[in-house]
Amino acid sequence: MKKSLLLSAFALLFMGIGINQAQAQDDNLWQSLADLTFKKEYDEMLGFKVDVPVFSETLKQLEGKEVTIKGYIIPVEGYKSHTEFVFSAYPYNMCFFCGGAGPETVMEVYAIEAIKYTAEPVTIKGKLELNDSDINRLIYALNDATLVQGVN
């Protein structure tokens, strides 16, 4: 009896560790995305200097890898289901576009299937893309994204 109880307790502890590690990846990814600097470079087409992101080695290693991240959907067009939207570490009223955070706290999302808008946080996964050359795009994109947890 003691042995089965001990095994059950160990199994629950082990499952809890797995859940915490998954949660840690969600939370730590935004922290990892903040691991960059910016340098000023002259843009010929614009005729003035722009901030160009310089990604850390850790971030470069994440490029093209599947990552899981928790955040908020910032709709581009209306509050409906979207396959393309902006994803933010913060709710709409605190996001980068409202002046409440930096550009490293948002990313473009290109989902395989439409993800329904919600004001609640959702967890998605996809392949991370880094952008340091196209000033018309955000510095991060999540391609082939799918909903992991949330409303759909």
- Domain of residue 69, CATH code: 2.40.50
Percent of the chain having pLDDT more than 90? Answer: 55
The residue ranges of DSSP E strands in 29-139, in sequence order, are 36-43, 48-55, 66-74, 81-88, 106-116, 122-130
Q: What is the pLDDT of residues 96-114, one digit of tens each?
A: 666 667 889 999 999 999 9
Percent of the chain having pLDDT more than 70? Answer: 73
What is the rounded CA–CA span in Å between residue 89 and residue 68? 13
Quick one: average pLDDT of 41-68? 92
Nearest to residue 102, comparing CAs of 84, 88, 119? 88
Give how many domains the chain has, as a whole number.
1
Check whether 86 has a pLDDT greater than 60.
Answer: yes
Residue for token pair 């722009």: 50
Mean residue pLDDT of the chain comes to: 79
How many alpha carbons lie under 13 Å from residue 27 in its C-beta half-sphere? 6
Structural domain containing residue 94: 2-149
What pTM, to 2 d.p., does this model score? 0.76
Alpha helices in the chain (DSSP H): 2-33, 57-62
